[in-house]
Amino acid sequence: MANKRIYLCLAHMSDEGLEQKYIKEAFDTNWVVPLGPNVNGFEADLEQFVNAEFGMRNAECNNGDSAFRIPHSALNKRVVALSSGTAAVHLALIACGVQPGDEVIVQSFTFCASSHPITYLGAKPIFIDSEKDSWNIDVGLMEEAIKDRIAKTGRKPKAIVPVALYGMPYDIEGIMEVANRYGIPVVEDAAEGFGSRWKGQVLGTFGDYGVLSFNGNKMITTSGGGALICPDQEAWQRIMWLATQAREAYPYYQHEAIGYNYRMSNICAGIGRGQMTIANDHINHHKHVFELYKELLKDVDGIEVHGNPDERYDSNFWLNTITIDPSVRVKGQENAYKTVVQGAVGGAAGVVHATESAHTDCEPNDNVEALRVILDQAGVEARPLWKPMHKQPVYKDATAYVNGVSEALFKVGMCLPSGPYVTDDDVRYIVDCIKSAIV
């Protein structure tokens, strides 16, 4: 393993090289532009995937309740392929009527792409903390926030954005019950949850809109890109129009509204078409890696692998995560945060702002940082969990309803390599590195 670097999650091409086949066709037919046959084909593949027949992983839930299951015939979602998952969030919020000054409920424990589009529109994110089991939005706290915002502003939030953190499903049943009761649309951010399911149904198909991402580190990739799952043909038509600069049907360029250049390119979609042929293989691999981590770490005191809370949840385990108890002592822990990081950590791209301090007011514990450094030196990419948005300086003035869960998890959590290139031997090596790092 000495000369091999094990990354968190890298894209894996199909064995048949179908990605190259579709890309070659695009060049051969001169479709090297946004839109084209590959985009149409990729969207059709995605629609087949999200509308696929489903059922409980087990015959029924813990209490035998299957009332929330929707017959296959009720699912007829349309999909628009876009330039990014962030673009999908942006367009979904527009479709929900979000305007300057509005408030949008959003999960705090997430990547910034869930919340930044709210600010693009001049609206205000209202951050909601997590519950302990799934690490996703706390439904009870969410309803408290809705009641409080109505009491304080006289208006209800304009939308709700739950997030499938690291692929783990959110309590969509609880979310939809509250959302429907208050008449608030739901935008499911399933960017990390491609193929994850709740009671057998694909995430992104419950709410008004569903967001997918095909970034280079996601379950399947188009190198960059995303998609928006739409509820019906009418919504699909509007999203398609907004994503293509809101161009009107004239023989010249006529614009009667502001649109966006958000459509996916024919080249990227060609990669996506090839990736769809191995999507289920990728999902199964991530689940297998989770089971192996769980087995190999089960006897390590103070370290816990995060798994499905119960039978309703079916995570794709996009990234496998662990928590490290503060009592666990790690070699070199006394030197954690002694050195200021320069540039990107763990291969993250685009980091150009140098920091002057090794510390912030909310950071992983010393033992987590020490273990990250040890794994990095061993050729293993590992990263902390997402830092909660309500603790990000850019959102220091944002309203947040917190219970301490996401901050506590951020201090003790770590992401481990999980992608298609991670072999069983790699997992064993990673676990051996973790065990040897513990004092």
Residue 40's CATH number: 3.40.640.10
Q: Which two tokens stand for residue 341?
A: 């990081």
Q: State residue 352's pLDDT score.
A: 62
Q: State residue 338's pLDDT score.
A: 87
Q: State residue 27's pLDDT score.
A: 87
In a domain, 246, yes or no: yes
Q: In angstroms, rounded to a whole number, what is the distance separating the alpha carbons of residues 295 and 413? A: 18
Q: State residue 34's pLDDT score.
A: 76
Q: State residue 421's pLDDT score.
A: 93
- The stretch 39-55 carries a mean pLDDT of 89
Q: In angstroms, rounded to a whole number, what is the distance separating the alpha carbons of residues 393 and 104? A: 19
Confidence of residue 62 (pLDDT cuts 50, 70, 90): very low
Please tell me the chain's helix, strand, coil percentages from 3-state DSSP, rounded to the nearest 5: 35, 15, 50
Residues 307 and 262 in one domain: no
Q: What is the pLDDT of residues 88-144, one digit of tens each?
A: 999 999 999 999 999 999 999 999 999 999 999 999 999 999 999 999 999 999 999
Residues 312 and 350 in one domain: yes
Residues with Cβ within 8 Å of 85's Cβ and at least 6 positions away in sequence, in order, are: 113, 189, 191, 211, 212, 213, 214, 215, 226, 227
Rounded to 5°, the CA angle 364-117-239 comes to 140
71, pLDDT greater than 70: no
Residues 90 and 219 in one domain: yes
Per-position DSSP letters for 190-237, written without gaps between them = -TT-TT-EETTEETTSSSSEEEEE--TTSSS--SS-EEEEESSHHHHH
Residues 295 and 274 in one domain: no
Residues 98 and 123 in one domain: yes
Q: Which two tokens stand for residue 328?
A: 């666990």
Q: State residue 61's pLDDT score.
A: 44
CATH number of the domain bearing residue 381: 3.90.1150.10
Residues 124 and 55 in one domain: yes
In a domain, 189, yes or no: yes
In a domain, 340, yes or no: yes
* End residue of a domain, out of 246, 278, 310: 278
Q: What is the pLDDT of residues 268-293, one digit of tens each?
A: 999 999 999 999 999 999 999 999 99
**CB contact at 8 A, 197 and 203:** yes
> What percent of the chain is modeled with pLDDT above 70?
91
Residues 349 and 240 in one domain: no
Q: State residue 191's pLDDT score.
A: 98
Query: How many other β-carbons are positioned within 10 Å of the β-carbon of residue 435?
Result: 13
Q: What is the pLDDT of residues 326-370, one digit of tens each?
A: 999 999 999 999 887 765 565 555 666 667 677 898 999 999 999
Domain of 328, in residue numbers: 280-437
* End residue of a domain, out of 278, 298, 319: 278
In a domain, 141, yes or no: yes
In a domain, 306, yes or no: yes
Q: Which two tokens stand for residue 196?
A: 């994850």
54, pLDDT greater than 70: no
Q: What is the pLDDT of residues 212-270, one digit of tens each?
A: 999 989 999 999 999 999 999 999 999 999 999 999 999 999 999 999 999 999 999 99
Confidence of residue 13 (pLDDT cuts 50, 70, 90): confident
In a domain, 372, yes or no: yes
72, pLDDT greater than 60: no
Q: In angstroms, rounded to a whole number, what is the distance separating the alpha carbons of residues 297 and 306? A: 11
Rounded to 5°, the CA angle 246-121-191 comes to 85
Q: State residue 345's pLDDT score.
A: 62
Distance from first CA to last CA of the chain, Å, rounded?
A: 23
Q: Which two tokens stand for residue 219?
A: 């379950």
- Amino acid at residue number 344: A
Q: State residue 31's pLDDT score.
A: 82
Confidence of residue 154 (pLDDT cuts 50, 70, 90): very high
Residues 33 and 180 in one domain: yes
In a domain, 3, yes or no: no
Farthest CA pair distance, the chain: 72
Q: State residue 351's pLDDT score.
A: 63
Q: How many structural domains compose the chain?
A: 2
Q: In angstroms, rounded to a whole number, what is the distance separating the alpha carbons of residues 138 and 142? A: 6
Residues 25 and 168 in one domain: yes
In a domain, 7, yes or no: no
Q: State residue 1's pLDDT score.
A: 56
Query: How many other β-carbons are positioned within 10 Å of the β-carbon of residue 182?
Result: 13
Q: Which two tokens stand for residue 411?
A: 């201090």
- The stretch 369-381 carries a mean pLDDT of 97
**CB contact at 8 A, 286 and 316:** yes
Q: State residue 28's pLDDT score.
A: 85
Q: What is the pLDDT of residues 379-403, one digit of tens each?
A: 999 999 999 999 999 999 999 999 9
Q: State residue 122's pLDDT score.
A: 98
Per-position DSSP letters for 91-145, written without gaps between them = HHHHHTT--TT-EEEEESSS-GGGTHHHHHTT-EEEEE-B-TTTSSB-HHHHHHH
Q: State residue 17's pLDDT score.
A: 83
**CB contact at 8 A, 197 and 223:** no
Residues 46 and 62 in one domain: yes
Q: State residue 58's pLDDT score.
A: 40
* End residue of a domain, out of 230, 250, 278: 278
Residue 279 three-state SS? helix
Burial class (CB in 10 A: 0-12, 13-18, 19+), 169: buried
Residues 46 and 113 in one domain: yes
Answer yes or no: pTM beyond 0.75: yes
